[in-house]
Structure 1
Amino acid sequence: MNKVIDPHIHLFDLDKGDYLWLRPEQPPHWSDKHQIYRNFSEVDLSLGEKQAFAGFVHIEAGFDNRSPWKEVKWLESTVTLPFRSVACVDLTQNENDFEVAVEKLKTFSSVVGVRHILDEQAAILLTDQRVQNNLSTLAHNDLLFEAQFFGKETQAADALASLLERFKDLKVVINHAAFPTPIDMGIWRSNLSVLSECSNVFVKASGWEMTDRKYSLKHMQEVIGHLITLFGENRVMLASNFPLCLFSKKYQTLWECYTKLPFSEACLQKLTHDNAHKIYAF
């Protein structure tokens, strides 16, 4: 039986958290957003008989962006499965306030890293001196940074590669494989090739539904194959992006798709468990 650590999920409690982005009147204005506008807990994470759930990494979900520690406190008081937390931060804060926020987050045992969603602002943010100083603070505090950006954006990839060369102690995990699409595969692969040369960068393959609700398994397989070629078997992880994965597939179905990928059993065990176990310090 294969063990699974899902390194990218979100849990919601609409009665306790803000989750502004989930509200129907707020962007993003997805026509199907109502499907995930409800509470989700660890009991919703179920796999098939051939896989054993060994834990997960919770990525910040907008519970309270002004006081990110509140989401972690809620998780640590409710979750019973083994898990790690990636908390929200504001990389544009002045350095003193950022250091205070980091120290507060470090008081929680599950916290291993932080995320500030970069997206279209990636190149601007990553070349900002204050942001760079705060990323250096993360490195000094042994917290990883979850980088969510578009791999087709060469300026963003180059800016991140430059930072990784400067801050060799900063561990960076690229979210959702940097959103590859069939039409952008060439430039995406070229940009990630540059990033793969930095030994302190890792990548999670997930979020397929974010670029195409009807994505093909062929596309998934092609992307994961490229990632393994570029980063090697030890720096790639498979993840779900639950509950957003439900826009396209049931949770169990997605993981069954992963088990059918044409890679060796040893490789798949690294991608579905071992790498996440090591990178997120379980």
Structure 2
Amino acid sequence: MSIKIIDPHVHFFNLVEGQYSWLQGTHPPAWPNLDKIKKPVSAQQLIKSIDFELAGLVHIEAGFDNISPINELNWLDSHLKDIPFKAISYNQIDSPADQFINSLEALAHPSLCGIRDITEGADAKRLLSANSFKNLTTLSDTQLHFEAQFDIENSEITKQVAYYAKQLPQLHIIINHAGLPSNLNTWQQAVELLAQHNNIAIKFSGFELLQLTSQQQITCFNFLFNHFGEQRIMFASNFPVCQINTSYSNLWHCHKALCSSDKVWHSLGYANAKHYYQV
């Protein structure tokens, strides 16, 4: 099968040179198949593991070196030399504005297209900081994305992110992992609010980390499609974490099965990621 895809949410690990304290410290995540997830994988191995044509990818920061995250970007240059890619790096979104700008300048790299700072759970309150708005303004001015990974069912935070989107219409905000749905009624209310802003897009990924049935995942997809539409949703893998419960290839076939037409599949599996990330 020669259908092109672009995967906008992939992680590669270099456990020898990188730190990854969250993954190989004293308290690693209690995930099934953790050994498989930690296994070194090259771009060529990933390309060969799937019967679609992997035409590009977006690497999402994975904790290689949060003190000097440029080291991850430099390593990716050699590790991903066989495939077109862009990269999302790390910068603390609520750091003082001068510190944020200095850290951003230290990340100067041809692959850089955005910043992620995970704000799940109690960390979400950091998005309420006045510093966060200043730093998002900097991202907007420098045409870099903000990859937002938080529980959108937290209505206070979702309202704040929607406010940022309204105040910064040139800023692309990409919601990671479908907004981490749990309570679908509350999640749907958040989707309705976020989808009102054309500069917010969302990735359909990360369900291996969530406690939803297959039917609930389909419900989530249909609801997202009805509100974000064909142009602002991207299928993504969260590889290698997706291997908690499925293979990389099978995941993409499941994504394709959600689509009502080849046109929808092309948009969500390839064209939208190419548009947002310019891979």
TM range (shorter): over 0.9
**SS of residue matched to 2:203:** strand
Task: Extract unaligned runs of 5+ from structure 2.
Answer: none
Please tell me the root mean square deviation across aligned C-alpha atoms, in Å: 1.6
In 2, distance between residues paired with 1:273 and 1:220?
Answer: 21
Pairing of 1:137-152 with structure 2 (within 5 A): 137-152=138-153
Contact kept, 8 Å, 1:10 with 1:243, in 2: the verdict is yes
Aligned to 2:248: 251
How many correspondences in the alignment? 276
**Kept in 1: contact 2:43–2:79 (CA 8 A):** no
Q: Separation in 1 of the partners of 2:53 and 2:78?
A: 24
| Number of the residue aligned with 1:96 | 98
Match of 1:41 in 2: 42
Aligned residue number for residue 66 of structure 2: 65
CA distance in 1, matches of 2:195, 2:9: 20
> Matched residues in 1 for 2:123 and 2:272: separation?
26
| Cross-structure match for 1:134 | 135
After superposition, the Cα gap between the structure-2 partners of 1:216 and 1:43, relative to the gap in structure 1 and judged at 3 Å, is farther
**SS at structure 1 position matched to 2:267:** helix
SS in 2 for 1:168: coil
Question: How far apart are the structure 1 equivalents of 2:149 and 2:124?
Answer: 12
The answer (yes or no) to whether the contact 1:57–1:85 under 8 Å persists in 2 is: yes
User: Which residue is equivalent to 1:194?
Assistant: 193
Q: Please give the alpha-carbon distance, in whole angstroms, between the structure 2 residues aligned to 1:35 and 1:85.
A: 23
Task: State the Cα distance separating 1:220 from its structure 2 match.
Answer: 2.5
Look up the match of 1:153: 154
1:278 is matched with 275
Aligned twin of 2:227 = 230
Q: Which amino acid aligns with 2:197?
A: C
Q: Could you tell me whether the CA contact under 8 Å between 1:161 and 1:198 is conserved in 2?
A: yes
Q: Which moved more, 1:256-265 or 1:142-151?
A: 256-265
Q: Percent identity among equivalent residues?
A: 33
1:217 is aligned to 214
Residue 169 and residue 121 in structure 1: after superposition, are their counterparts in 2 closer, same or farther (change >3 A)? farther
Structure 1 segments unaligned to the other structure (5+ residues): none
1:132 CA displacement: 1.4
Give yes or no for contact 1:36–1:243 (8 Å, CA) kept in 2: yes
Q: Is the 8 A contact 2:128 2:157 kept in 1?
A: no
Instruction: Give the partner amino acid of 1:13.
Output: N
Q: Give the letter aligned to residue 200 of structure 2.
A: V
For each residue in 1:170-212, what CA deviation from the matched residue of structure 2 results, as whole angstroms up to 9, or x when unmatched?
Answer: 110000001113xx11110111110100111000000011113
Structure 1 position 55, deviation (Å) = 0.7
1:89-108 superposed Cα distances (whole Å, 9 cap, x missing partner):
11232211211111222x31
CA–CA distance in 2 between the matches of 1:13 and 1:194?
38
State the TM-score, normalizing by the size of structure 1.
0.93
CA separation of 1:225 and 1:35: change in aligned 2, threshold 3 A:
same
